Structure 1
Amino acid sequence: MEKQTEETVVDLMQLMLDEEWVREAVRIEEEAGCDIGAGFELGANLGEFLQNPSGFADFFELRSVIISEFIKLLASWNLGAGMEAAVDCGRQLLLQRLLAPSPEVQERLLAMYSQELAAQPRISENERSELRFLLRSILTESDWEAIATAAASAIREQVMIRQQVVV
């Protein structure tokens, strides 16, 4: 059960640094007319939080590795003019999904990070395969559809701009 407490701390701290999430939380509280809280309460557990600053840093590093691998995956698909839009859309969706991944995904990410990614500056092919599998687990089918739509829209925009320039 203690492991869940550490995971909750990491998620809460990430949320508190996400300006968009904070705005949404304030909006929801204003609609509800009261303070809404869940999970790790820093007031009562501040000492416990201060004893685990590495969990906070580990989450940022893990998130960075996941996003980097996501970008490499999209680059391998040769999306051309749609690449930047696909990355932007996918990054937003990934960050959103990583705020509350399923327990299974959390467990795999934490195990992967603590065992392999933390000890090595480079990612092996096995780790890359595992990360890509997790990416496909983290993002939903509708997320992938949104990424594809963003890429297609960017390509369409490029075609429309270029056809006007052609003489």
Structure 2
Amino acid sequence: MEFKITEAEAQEFAYLEESAGCDVGAGFDWGAGLGSFLASANSYVDHEKLLELLRDRLGSLLSQEEIKDAARSFQEQGRDRVVEKYQSPKSA
């Protein structure tokens, strides 16, 4: 399958990109902010909501410190899995 665009279409795309004030990319270039986003576990899960849920469901079984540890562990594992997924060549 060939992907072809005309010169006029290319110019139109460039105009739209420039007028939107963004830099459209493809492939592995996920943008300058991706590293910070992937490194932040709180980007995926609201920490306070997670703590509230765990306290509600496990508060009678676990101490507050155990609940906080579980929340941190969950967020770290979630972050690591997302980073692994987006660093994989299969995600391109």
Q: Structure 1 length normalisation: TM-score?
A: 0.25
**Structure with max Cα Rg:** 2
